Amino acid sequence: MNPQDWLGLAYGLVVGVSLGLTGGGGSIFAVPLLIYGLGVETRTAIGLSLAAVGVTAGFGAALRLKAHEVEVLPGVIFALGGMSCAPLGVWLGCFIPPAVLLSIFALLMVFVGWRMWCGKAETEGVPGPCVSHGGSRLGPGCHARLIGAGAVAGVLSGLFGIGGGFIIVPALLYVTGTSIHRAVATSLLAIFLISLAGVAANLLHRQAFPMPVSALFVAGGFVGMLLGGGVRRRLSGPALKKVFAAAMWVVGAWMLAKNWPAFTASASPWVDALPL
């Protein structure tokens, strides 16, 4: 293999480890690694990120299902909202110039990093409106909350090619009152299903995926998922979150600086994107 192939494997490994450790939040690194690390075009990178994160999450979800760690019903209900709205995110992305899209993505990274840094070190969910002393009651109102949160995660997944775990995990904790460990495991199932819808929408928009890069990136993701899942329980949760948060701030700030010249040029990036 050439050096570029090894880079594809290594970057996939980073995303897989991040996904295994955080249940989706770390998958936000996939897009910048593909664009700036492997030179993949922006919209191709977003579609490829969604496919790679989805396949890797599906692999992780299968392992967690086998270990009986997944709350299947809440995960599927959440995914229904996401699957219905992921194509909307893909469609919106077709009208946003790459510089604008990547700048918004960078701001999202900063926000997710802030959430990770300042969030509580939760081991159990804070009981929400669907949780009684006897456990979770998933009635119609609870279904609506999960579907609504899933819709937001789906739009963001389709638009930016991310897993959306930073939305999925807190929503599952709040609505079901499950443990953080089971919420992370369940989020992998939701990410897999939502990503399927997003990838299908990309294919309908005739988005091509470079197969060699895709295969190596996914292969690295599989290995990373195994490593991340294996070491997750041995690491300090708060310290791990702060490391990821700091990395997101650095990458987000770098992406903003990288795309800033597009906004200071004589023509707006929106003008260049108009179909004239």
- Say if 9 falls within a structural domain: yes
Distance CA 62, CA 237 (A): 23
Mean pLDDT for all residues in the chain: 82
264: domain range?
3-269
Q: Looking up tokens 């295969």, which residue turns up?
A: 215
Instruction: Judge whether 30 and 52 are in contact, CB under 8 Å.
Output: yes
Distance CA 23, CA 21 (A): 6
Distance CA 175, CA 241 (A): 22
- Say if 11 falls within a structural domain: yes
- Say if 12 falls within a structural domain: yes
Q: Looking up tokens 């919420």, which residue turns up?
A: 183
What pTM value is reported for the model?
A: 0.83
The total of structural domains in the chain comes to: 1
Distance CA 79, CA 20 (A): 19
Tokens encoding 207:
């988005």
Cα-Cα-Cα-Cα dihedral sign, residues 222, 226, 232, 235: negative
- Say if 274 falls within a structural domain: no
Residue type, 224: G
pLDDT digits (tens, 9 = 90+) for 126-179: 556 666 545 556 667 788 899 999 999 999 999 999 888 888 888 888 888 788
How does pLDDT run along the chain (276 residues), one tens digit per residue? 788 888 889 998 988 888 777 655 667 888 999 999 888 899 899 999 898 888 888 988 998 899 999 999 999 999 999 999 999 999 999 999 999 999 999 998 888 888 778 765 554 555 566 665 455 566 677 888 999 999 999 999 999 998 888 888 888 888 887 887 888 889 999 999 999 999 999 888 877 777 888 889 889 888 888 887 777 666 656 777 777 788 889 989 999 998 888 777 655 555 555 444
Tokens encoding 82:
């996401």
| Number of Cα atoms under 13 Å in the Cβ half of residue 29 | 25
- Say if 275 falls within a structural domain: no
- Say if 52 falls within a structural domain: yes
- Say if 276 falls within a structural domain: no
- Say if 93 falls within a structural domain: yes
Q: Looking up tokens 């690694």, which residue turns up?
A: 33
Cα-Cα-Cα-Cα dihedral sign, residues 108, 53, 71, 201: positive
